[in-house]
Amino acid sequence: MSWKSALFALAAAALAACDAAVTDDNGLAGSVLIDLTYAYDRDTVYWPTSDRFAHETVFAGVTEGGYYYSAYKFRTAEHGGTHLDAPIHFNQAGQTADQVPLERLVGPAVVVDVSARAKDAPDYLVSVADLEAWERENGRLEDGRIVLIRTGWGARWPDVEAYLGTAERGPGAVAGLHFPGLAPDAARWLVDERSIKAVGIDTASIDYGQSTLYETHQILAAAQVPVFENVANLDGLPARGFQVVALPMKIAGGSGGPLRIIAVLPNTGL
């Protein structure tokens, strides 16, 4: 199977499957698919200054022709729910959502789990020491990996106050944000020492809630590294040994957009 055929099969499976074993002959037989995406609905968590998701009925019912038909429209900010941060989000010369190469969105992945340390530390910063500790336990983080960071904050979704640190809305609420993120020096280490493809996290931002300069965003964007935020179900993944498919809405010129992301695990038969 060519890489294009494999990618098509992965994407098709992602649209239809959630935490399911694949049994049909689509190139993924025996694999287990885990959905890492939150549904978009009235409970979707957004940044305090962003409009929330709106899903409106155009028509739903039986038509004059006697058949059932439904159609809806939706409105959303680019950065809310499980979504992509394209490099242009914090880099004027960065790639837009439609320009991010597919090769950066698909590939082998790892989970760096700091949930035990971040549990009672809402301003926790994932450090180089955390990454080096992961390597001592799991082996070297090879170049070209997608790194997913599990802080444990996913367990708080969709409780806005517990997840963001505040339930207030508007510009004034930003000062009240408290959730873990990736330290700037750790972001630099991942870029310079391990040449990662992409990085994701189970919080609302790759920068911690109290950040004012968003240095981690800036470092990753300067290296054309896409970011996945509000990633779901990281507690269902091993430290390594799986693939990720992360396909965002292809918004021309976009700084990001809604993301459907899945993990593909080998079925061990256990």
d(CA 243, CA 256): 22
The residues that bridge with 235 in the sheet, in sequence order, are none
Q: Is the CA virtual torsion 25, 31, 34, 37 positive or negative?
A: negative
Residues in the chain: 270
Question: pLDDT of 43-101, one tens digit each?
Answer: 999 999 999 999 999 999 999 999 999 999 999 999 999 999 999 999 999 999 999 99
pLDDT band at 194 (very low <50, low <70, confident <90, very high): very high
- Structurally, the chain folds into a number of domains equal to 1
Please give the pLDDT value at position 16.
40
Any domain includes 38: yes
Above 90 in pLDDT, residue 10? no
User: Torsion angle, CA of 91/203/78/70, rounded to 10 degrees?
Assistant: 160
pTM value > 0.85: yes
What contacts 131, CB < 8 A, 6 or more positions away? 112, 141, 186, 189, 190
Any domain includes 57: no
Any domain includes 175: yes
Any domain includes 58: no
Instruction: Give the domain range for residue 245.
Output: 3-50+78-266
Integer angstrom CA distances of residue 199 from 17, 53, 72: 23, 24, 32
Any domain includes 91: yes
Residue 34 sits in a domain whose CATH number is 3.50.30.50
Any domain includes 114: yes
Question: pLDDT of 211-255, one tens digit each?
Answer: 999 999 999 999 999 999 999 999 999 999 999 999 999 999 999
Question: pLDDT of 124-139, one tens digit each?
Answer: 999 999 999 999 999 9
The mean predicted confidence, pLDDT, of the chain is 91
Above 80 in pLDDT, residue 1? no
Any domain includes 61: no
Any domain includes 70: no
The DSSP string of the chain is: --HHHHHHHHHHHHHH-SSEE--SSSS-TTEEEEE--PPPSTT--B-TTSPPPEEEEEEEEE-TTS-EEEEEEEE--SSBSSEEE-GGGS-TTSPPTTTS-GGGTEEEEEEEE-HHHHTT-TT-EE-HHHHHHHHHHH----TT-EEEEE-SGGGGTT-HHHHHS----SGGGGGG----EE-HHHHHHHHHTT--SEEEESSS-SS-TT-SS-HHHHHHHHTT--EEES---GGGS-SSSEEEEEEE---TT-SEEEEEEEEEEE----
Q: Are 218 and 190 in contact (CB under 8 A)?
A: no
